[in-house]
Structure 1
Amino acid sequence: MNLHGSGFLAVYIAGLVLGNRPLLASVSIQRFHDGIAWLAQIVMFLMLGLLVTPSALLPVALPAMAVAVSLIFVARPLAVWLSLLPFGFPARDQAFIGWVGLRGAVPIILALFPLLADLPNAPVYFNVAFFVVMISLVLQGWTLAPLARRLNLEIPYVPGWNRRLELDLPGQLELELVVYVQERDSAAIGQAVDSLTLPDGASIAGLIRDGQVVRDYRQERLTVGDQLLVLVPSAVAEVLDRILTSEKIPERLRDTNFYGEFVLDANATLRAIADAYGIALSVDDDTTTLNEQFHREFKHGPVVGDRLSLGPLELVVRETEEGEVIRVGLKIGTGDTDS
């Protein structure tokens, strides 16, 4: 208050800072806050519903529709375009951000302030805001997923861990014990435990089958219902998820179809890749790395799923860390014929 700032913004920034710090029992904390957030939303919408008079919405229906159309199709896309213009975002990204707009309770909450202040025409402001949000929910809410597919902005879904136990070990804040329950379509079904390809730092801690601990589990082949206990650092969790969880994802979003069959280190040079596949480069700098090339092509900073062509090859950002590309997927035969 002394700084005349926004309390909402201060809480939001504090949440960003705390959310990006390693915390013990962070999973339990996140689940608790997720439940509280859903409960708060339920109570909020219930209270808002009590404030709405359906008969009062009809007189403002046509003006509210005009406001909604203007905001959805003109004001927000224009604001997004002007805001992102200096950062070089691709047109498809801007189109999607421009379409993700008004739906939600925040506009309605803000429309309550005139009511609380007893300003003139305050009920009209509230009814128009409520009507606009309803239109946004109906029109924009269900179209987000189809639009993302249409704009080719989907990325493979990362399945969540079934059960996690964060270990309170000195100097090992990010080491966790994870229990993977094997389902019928799990990627590891039928494989021997000791044949599983695990990421660096991960180690099998045990196997539970039919409620019993399997002592000599190394040669056991995983079956439906098996519970595999793995010690793993949080940093490599995503890789392990793809190996040990079910793959209930569309064919187009499977790793090999989306990222390609091969994984490259982003520090590899374009020259090394071009020489390996017999491609003539149009760039003069032999030392340009994949990470540097992605940053040249995507001025806003590359993200997972960004693509660029290198002759007949297509390079796809697979993993980033602190704004830098770490791993790149390689697809053969899908790039441009000209480099």
Structure 2
Amino acid sequence: MIQILNEDGEMVNEDAMPDLSDDDLVELMRRMVYTRVLDQRSIALNRQGRLGFYAPTAGQEASQLGSHFALEKEDFLLPAYRDVPQLIWHGLPLYQAFLFSRGHFHGNQMPEDLNAVSPQIIIGAQITQAAGVALGLKRRGKKNVAITYTGDGGASQGDFYEGMNFAGAYQAPAIFVVQNNQFAISVPVEKQSAAKTIAQKAAAVGVPGYLVDGMDVLAVYQVTKEARERAINGEGPTLIETMTYRYGPHTMAGDDPTRYRTDDMDDEWEKKDPLVRFRKYLEGKDLWSEDKENEVIEKAKEEIKAAIKKADGQDKQKVTDLISIMHDKLPYNLEEQMEEYKEKESK
């Protein structure tokens, strides 16, 4: 397993240290702290009935943001439902992320300059889509990559193998990130496959596979950066398995992790917390402080408050809204329904 910082924030692999400036290191930490606050507030908003579907992200910040930090703005992002943070840092306005959670269609309308699709709910479906997007980038001569994310459960889907095999066969510039948080909802990873790792499955389709400490933001960044460089140089796709952990439930829709996880397991992974580890490293370099972290926390709270207020002010979606954006030209049956619902909504 590739690791640069150990659990105590100490450098253990100096040769693998990425070429990041002090400002870059601080920005990485800022994003992780901000995202942890966003997760805490999103859980609270969900419990208040002000958000809909929500999949907690705490514990996976290094995996999510370290990999995203290695991308360029023009790279194409195909996230799973837990990967809203990467979408936000790629350019999705925060209020639209909240609308996505509420099931509002505007939350799925990506801004013109955002190379991304909405978070995929179907397990693994984004993997085959990423292979297609990557091939499209290659055929257009773009020096960009398509990156997609799934969990360990997604690696048990047929789309996982089909997408990687297709991308490998065409040497498409794709990066497949499997965030192994140890459980596909409640099924432990060791019951999903007899393989020792998910990363080794890359060998079956002839592409490189890497096992990375997903709680180490520097290791995740460096492996993703190298995968991106290979891809844009015509060397094809890469599979990256990040060993990570979600501290909360699978989603806020009734999952109870205490039924399938032990306190000892939770305690073990909390000692590996990506924020604590990176904080110690930055404090040792005099790049981070409690005051600086508190500034980030307060700013995050202010921006989240403003975003949820903006989401609250969005027009309520109507059936006619949904019908009108389904087709360029409505078929006759939808024209009939449109007229029917216009009459109902006018009353």
Which of the five TM-score ranges fits, normalised by the shorter chain? under 0.3
TM-score using structure 1 length: 0.22
Q: Compare CA radii of gyration and give the structure with the larger one.
A: 1
More strand by share: 1
Question: Highest relative contact order (Cα 8 Å, sep 6+), 1 or 2?
Answer: 2
**TM-score with structure 2 length normalisation?**
0.22
